[in-house]
Amino acid sequence: MTEKELEKLAIKEISQKSDSWIFWFPPKQEFLRRDIFGVFDFLALNTHTGKVKFYQLTTLQHTSERRRKIKNWIKENKIIPYFYCHLWSYDKKSGKFRTENW
């Protein structure tokens, strides 16, 4: 599954829960998109609550690698627990995301 396909599925799922979310993806540079803070694929802002969530999307087989990357980033930067970090791993068999949140 391509990165673009994962993004579309995630946006669709997030938007189904509430239409108050807007999304930002970092711009592509030389055909590649750079991660936010070197970790996250995109951020979502809830226009009603002001809540900001950072998302890392991956496929199921890369979950542990991405989890480690996020946890190391949180620890290194002493991120307070009110910062919303999400790891969504797509499971091709079930056709759904498995989610982890910090």
Structural domains of the chain ordered from first start: 3-101 (3.40.1350)
9: three-class secondary structure by DSSP: helix
- Strands, E assignment, the chain: 21-24, 28-29, 32-33, 42-46, 52-59, 84-91, 96-101
CB burial string 2-30: b at 16+ within 10 A, e below? eeeebbebbbeebeeeeeebeeeeeeeee
Q: What are the backbone angles phi and psi of residue 96, rounded to the nearest 5°?
A: -135, 160
Report the alpha-carbon distance of residue 16 to residue 14 in Å, rounded: 6
pLDDT digit string, tens, across residues 76-101: 998 876 678 999 999 999 999 999 99
**pLDDT per position in the chain (102 positions), as tens?**
888 899 999 999 999 988 899 999 998 877 777 899 999 999 999 999 999 999 999 999 999 999 999 999 999 998 876 678 999 999 999 999 999 998
- Counting residues of the chain whose pLDDT is more than 90, the rounded percentage is 76
Residue among 94, 83, 73, 97 nearest 8 (CA): 97
